[in-house]
Structure 1
């Protein structure tokens, strides 16, 4: 494999061979965790789509722990109101999985919209999260859902993503204004009554900002999308501005995108389950 060197500008980019590295291919989660503990400096990868990008950006890999053969990290299940997704589940497999589509149809639909076809079959939910790139969309989706992450004892190996599905009434995602603005939004029944709204608004150049609001009543059809959208958008700090737009412009975009999702929730009344 060969990597392109950055900084070539208008000239042809140079080519350089990737230096040899040590490869470990565990087949169980226990083996993988032991290797991570033994080699704390090692690079961890599953689908390797982000790894290829990092190598092209100049990163040197000396030891790689591949998770591709660890079947435990590709499991998906739901029980007691918790959806659990293995960190090595690919975008394609996760978004088309029957359990995911039944548990949170809106999340499955949003998941199916991210990345290119090539990356969808190789990139994983865990890799998308652990890469910590603002242009990757999974952190926004999971952030709006209030997802929790299970790591191994070293704290370096992400094992599972857990999402509480109890009380979840609606989930929507708007990416029509990428790269300037993307927004994920979850609507839940509040424990003490009413409806809680949690949104994460980001862009390709800024981390996501968490926005929250509460609405009285229990019927989604009684939501006031315009008022809730304005409440959420005004929470964006001035630091949300970047070279694609001012803070006021991004607040306007978030208000528009939030309103779209909330109107869809109010019009539907209840999230529909897709046809298998």
Structure 2
């Protein structure tokens, strides 16, 4: 499996990266960790003339924990999410989810920006970002804008990002003190995508629930969150199971996926409730 020929670019700043995208149009793509794009190129499912590596753009790296929000550069690796003490205290669910992504070798290179930007419905971070009500910073030729994670995903591999825009950072509101959280994932083997995964936040009269790999986009259900906030766990599960749309594939038939989704969701709810303080 060898990709078609391409020209490799490694710009040192965001302006240069955007300029290359403008110059080459549909022939150019940016790459972060490369765990989604490179395999597609090897299989000839994606053929492009110009590959723009973002590794040298320091402005897209780092974690800043403020009083109300956490800002994470898109080129921050999953490993960095795991070992950052301040982030672990402010958003323990993020560390919990990152630890379940693939394996250590992947987590040392894979980035949070790459995980959320390409619209893969099997990735872990998109659903979690919806649960956390995160916002994505997008920068392009016309400047920067923010898009809510709950509005970003349109279909499998289709997002609100324009072709000449780069996702540069993620802004996440810090949950109120006492909020319980959990990310529970069921997968066939280490390194696999989820058969089903659930992200849950439960606070004082508030809740948020999202699920992964059970439709062509991550699913955040306002109705499920409202039911859980009111203490109606059965209503939460019913609302979420009504919102998902799993398809039969190598991970099982539809009925099996719905069963797994229900089990995973209830485990995540139980865990989040047990962590409230």
1:107 touches 1:171 (CA, 8 Å); kept in 2? Answer: no
Among 20, 29, 41, the alignment partner of 2:5 is: 20
Structure 1 CA distance for aligned equivalents of residues 187 and 235 of structure 2? 20
5 Å-filtered alignment, 1:8-157, equals 16=2, 18-41=3-26, 42-58=28-44, 59-154=46-141, 155=162, 156-157=165-166
Change (3 A) 1:259 1:216: closer
Gaps of 5+ in 1: 5-15, 190-194, 218-222, 271-276
1:106 touches 1:170 (CA, 8 Å); kept in 2? Answer: no
Shift of 1:246: 3.6
Structure 2 CA distance for aligned equivalents of residues 45 and 238 of structure 1? 32
5 Å-filtered alignment, 1:235-274, equals 235=239, 236-237=241-242, 240-243=245-248, 244-246=252-254, 250-270=257-277
Between 1 and 2, higher relative CO (CA 8 Å, sep ≥ 6) is seen in 2
Structure 1 counterpart of 2:196? 181
1:125-152 Cα offsets, whole Å, 9 max, x none, are 1111122222221112112111110000
Structure 2 CA distance for aligned equivalents of residues 33 and 206 of structure 1? 28
Change (3 A) 1:170 1:38: farther
1:135 touches 1:205 (CA, 8 Å); kept in 2? Answer: no
Change (3 A) 1:238 1:46: closer
Gaps of 5+ in 2: 142-161, 189-193
TM-score (norm 1): 0.77
Say whether 1:202 aligns with 2:202: no
Shift of 1:172: 0.8
Aligned residues: 241
Among 182, 189, 210, the alignment partner of 1:172 is: 182
Classify the secondary structure of the residue corresponding to 2:11.
Answer: coil
Structure 2 CA distance for aligned equivalents of residues 91 and 268 of structure 1? 23
Change (3 A) 1:238 1:122: closer
Structure 2 counterpart of 1:214? 226
1:43 touches 1:61 (CA, 8 Å); kept in 2? Answer: yes
1:45 touches 1:127 (CA, 8 Å); kept in 2? Answer: yes
Change (3 A) 1:25 1:245: same
TM-score (norm 2): 0.77
Structure 2 CA distance for aligned equivalents of residues 127 and 216 of structure 1? 31
> Which of the two has higher C-alpha Rg?
1
Shift of 1:102: 1.8
Classify the secondary structure of the residue corresponding to 2:88.
Answer: helix
Among 168, 175, 196, the alignment partner of 1:159 is: 168
